Amino acid sequence: MANAWFESVAEAQRRARRRLPKGVYGALVAGSERGLTVDDNTAAFAELGFAPHTAGLSNERRLGVTVMGQPVSMPVLISPTGVQAVHPDGEVAVARAAAARGVAMGLSSFASKPVEDVVAANPQTFFQVYWVGSREEMLGRMQRAKDAGAVGLIATLDWSFAYGRDWGSPFIPEKIGLEAARRYAPQVLVKPRWLLDFARTRALPDLTVPNMVATPGDPAPTFFGAYGQWMNSPMPSWDDVAWLREQWDGPFMLKGVMRVDDAKRAVDAGVTAISVSNHGGNNLDGTPASIRALPAVAEAVGDQVEVLLDGGIRRGGDVAKALALGAKAVMIGRAYLWGLAANGQAGVENVLDLLRDGLGSALVGLGHASVDELRREDVVVPPGFERRLGAAEQPGR
């Protein structure tokens, strides 16, 4: 369509809201309890300013980096997110878009598409795991991902099962049956374009999670079946993290690190990368924005492991700010999901283009030719902005 292109992530979000049934859109915006953390993730970026130059600016815009052994066109990765019922092609469409733009894909073990299909769409796929079930079950899922060709592993441990949103949690069914159809009918009937997308595939949204089984094609649990097993699994220890890392002989990221002391323990466990993350505001509400915690973590371990950031990225300028404060790259979640909902694969490509162009513009304005040149001096950090969690120096700098 001639008007399918959008000029900002905010517009992608508006289109996603218009297109999706209320409950489906509600699952995307998410956030726990009062939503303090999800709001701070974006508000914190707005507190940071730039210190641009006037003349002598570079004509080059070198955005490419290598992250977890993978050369990518820009320091932006797809963060793994669960069942993507916003579009029939789900994670496969996202993987194709990322491949088309030279970006690596993160695939959730709670995804709706098999790892084999996603790796086929994007060979630069990192497989993400939660600590669910026994070590034997964990090994089975990891081996399946390795056999499929996943190039790295992401372990996500930042989850306390906080729930209960002040604005109400959306109804998400265990499976699409008569009761789910009845409850969703009033929402779906007023969103005919979303319904038509699925009607064309002659299939209902799939709420099973095929990557939670070790053998492709085995009966997969539903999302909530797997979620229930996760909730009842023992919380992993640092010994478990070290064991998990030993089982994967390639790049290994620990996602969800917000504290300096945890970052140091992650290094001791042998990880190759960490992501400073608060689970997009979906974990313990009241946790500071991840960008506030980034500088202290990067200062403490950035010379030993690759430090990434996720949470609150909405524009290319946000990427530049994160890199200036010590991140090697960023991961995006809601931004690409809104693009997927707005216009499928092309919508995800649109979001990635916006981030690339915005990052390039910030680079030029700051007088740099390469993202590797971004430094703290390029941003204006207000007093008290940082949160040095788990460090000897606790107050904000």
Active site residue 279: yes
**Residue 159 main-chain phi, psi, to 5 deg:** -150, 120
Helix residue ranges, H only, 248-365: 260-268, 290-301, 316-324, 334-365
Give the whole-angstrom CA distance, residue 256 versus residue 339: 24
Per DSSP (E only), the strands in the chain are 49-50, 65-67, 70-72, 76-78, 105-108, 125-129, 152-156, 252-257, 273-276, 306-310, 329-332, 379-380
Largest Cα separation within the chain, whole Å, is 65
Q: Which of 53, 87, 279, 368 does the annotation list as catalytic? A: 279
Distance between terminal CA atoms of the chain? 49
**Residue 114 main-chain phi, psi, to 5 deg:** -65, 145
Q: Which long-range contacts (CB under 8 A, 24 or more apart) does 59-65 make?
A: 59/369, 60/369, 60/370, 61/360, 61/363, 61/364, 61/369, 62/369, 62/370, 62/371, 62/372, 63/356, 63/359, 63/360, 63/363, 63/370, 63/371, 64/102, 65/328, 65/329, 65/371, 65/372
Give the whole-angstrom CA distance, residue 76 versus residue 58: 22
The size of the chain, in residues, is 397
Give me the active site residues, please.
279
